[in-house]
Structure 1
Amino acid sequence: MKTDLQHYMQVGIVHFMAYPQTIGGEGPIAETVNKIITDDFFSAIEITRINDSEQRKQVAQMLESGRITTGFGAQPILLGNKADLNSFDEEKRRFAIDLIKGAIDQAYELNAGKLGLLSGPKPDQNEEKAVALLIDSLKEICRYARAKGNLAISLETFDDATDKKCLVGPNRLAVEVAKEVRKTDANFGLMLDLSHLPMQRETSRDALYTASDYINHAHIGNCYIKNPTDPAYGDVHPRFGYPGSENDVDELVEYLKILLEIGYIGEGSDNVVAFEVKPVGIESSDIVVAQSKRTLRKAWSKL
């Protein structure tokens, strides 16, 4: 497609994945956020917790002055604490809910418009009960978020067997969950990630059409699932075209094509399509980010 891709979407990036030294809320957060904000290829960014309140204020000011759409990723908070929003143990489920409420507070401090999270692990049995508990947790989270403002909640779908082994999981199940949660919060939606589709055993066409009425966020990236001993194995988000991996230009072309077909992106759209890419081994974050931009430009030129 010859038209400027930025006319069809807001191109974003998951900051804490591109710069993984910041994922725990420490490290060169302001410095690396500044790199993204000052790169006008990007009009959106996703950040996660910032432990120091003064640095949070600094980053909030940077985001506001940079006029960049901001999302908050609570996924690392849940995963880092092994927290489970669908736990059968009520104390553990409450712990996970409280973690997300704290994340919502930070998201508002940073003037984020959306918060992403994920389900807990898929249980060995009684999956229906786990789904009901997840829905209950999400409804409470949505009520908390809406009581404070207009923050939208987005449930990201993950693999259920390869790495994260999440309850959600298949996009058909995600739609069932979203239908119920939208009875509480009409802004609730789903986040689909090109990186996860090979691990979910779903094509872009099947996944995106299945979830089309509920998608409120999209990620683009890659995964490697051939050899468990490879450092990029699983849900690690290596660069596009990593040797032996699943996604490169052609797969990105197909994903973008379906996003156009379902109307998630289109001329004048403000919907976000964000890179989720991470350096492997000694790779440079800045080089991986630049390679991602080149890959998107090449894919867009083939539409």
Structure 2
Amino acid sequence: MRDSIHKYFQVGTIQWMSYPRMDGLESLKKICADDYFDAIEVNVNKLGAYREEAKALLEQSHLKVCYGAQPSLLGPKLNPNDLDEEGRQKAEDTLKNCLDDAEYFGAKGIAFLSGKWQEETKEEAYRQLLKTTVNVCRYAASKGMMVELEVFDYDVDKASLIGPAPLAARFAADVRTLCPNFGLLVDLSHFPICHEKSADVIRTCRPYITHLHFGNAVADKDAEGYGDLHQRLGYPNSANDIPELLDYLKVLKEEGFFRADEPLVLSMEVSPTASESEEIILANTKRCLNRAWALLED
């Protein structure tokens, strides 16, 4: 593409993924000072000890701030589709608290994920998730904020209810009938472990997609690093590299997601392994995105 990627997307990164080991305030400063990024995704777990300083840095940066509530559910193992009503309510209350934190840091919404499920109670879990999501969306609407559900794998790692693309689209349609401030977040790194391709997910979920991630995963259960571990693009025996990222961008272009007037956030969800450098893996991801963009035809 001759045009800059920044014309069509707000390129972002996920703070706790890019810098899992670095101090929260120090890593925030690095991202805020890096003009490659138009957006940042944060969570209070990384910034809670530095709330005022972090808020000031974000205000200075001119970055679009997004808030990821996923760690707030995954850490304490909260399930928004819990069949136990007390457990479901805890997840709902946590997500509402995340909206308060997001508002403090200047984000206009939150992203979250669904919980684990069992085949025999799938429809009941679906109804529980719908209840949680609608309640959280209504609370968000009172603040003028958005709620996004990230589509995860359903049988590999996170084993979330939502889930394959057709179920994600059905769920989004059900929520949207009641709450227009709801959307889906789709992530290239989850497609292989959902047994899907970019075209499957984007075309199926197209009316509801409001946020984008890209990254990598190992889909071969016999290979090292199997599951949703956010490896660098090109990691040994992994599913995604520049060709898959290019295909993702092609499908997004074909499906009308290149929106210069209202660019979506496109964040890299990539994390170093224990032996890898945070800085080098972030640079790797930028190079891959630059190359895929350069190969994309106008």
TM-score normalised by length of structure 1: 0.94
Report which of the two has the higher share of helix.
Answer: 2
Q: Give per-residue Cα distances to partners, 1:243-268, cap 9 Å, x unaligned.
A: 11000000000001111112222444
Distance in 1 of aligned mates of 2:203 and 2:232 = 26
Partner residue of 1:60? 55
**Worse-superposed segment, 152-161 or 268-277:** 268-277
Pairing 1:150–2:161 present = no
Distance in 1 of aligned mates of 2:47 and 2:265 = 28
Q: For 1:184-195, list aligned pairs within 5 A.
A: 184-195=178-189
Question: May I ask how many residue pairs the two structures share in their alignment?
Answer: 296
Partner residue of 2:156? 162
Distance in 2 of aligned mates of 1:62 and 1:225 = 38
Pairing 1:297–2:263 present = no
SS at match of 2:31: helix
Give identity over the alignment, percent. 39
The one-letter amino acid of 1:205's match is A
Partner residue of 2:81? 86
Q: CA deviation at 1:281?
A: 2.1
1:12·1:275 contact (CA, 8 Å) conserved in 2?
yes
Runs of 5+ unmatched residues, structure 2:
none
**Worse-superposed segment, 266-275 or 93-102:** 266-275
1:122·1:168 contact (CA, 8 Å) conserved in 2?
no
TM-score normalised by length of structure 2: 0.96
The one-letter amino acid of 1:67's match is H
Runs of 4+ in structure 1 deviating by more than 6 angstroms, as ranges, are: none
Distance in 2 of aligned mates of 1:291 and 1:51 = 23
Partner residue of 1:233? 226
Q: CA deviation at 1:277?
A: 0.2
Q: CA deviation at 1:36?
A: 0.7
Q: Which residue of the other structure, out of 115, 126, 132, is the alignment partner of 1:120?
A: 115
1:10·1:269 contact (CA, 8 Å) conserved in 2?
no
Cα 1:228/1:89, change in 2 over 3 Å? farther
Q: For 1:181-260, list aligned pairs within 5 A.
A: 181-227=175-221, 230=224, 232-260=225-253
The one-letter amino acid of 1:295's match is C
Partner residue of 2:6? 6
The one-letter amino acid of 1:107's match is A
Partner residue of 1:47? 42
Distance in 2 of aligned mates of 1:133 and 1:167 = 11
2:24·2:47 contact (CA, 8 Å) conserved in 1?
no
The one-letter amino acid of 2:246's match is V
SS at match of 1:136: helix
Q: CA deviation at 1:52?
A: 6.7
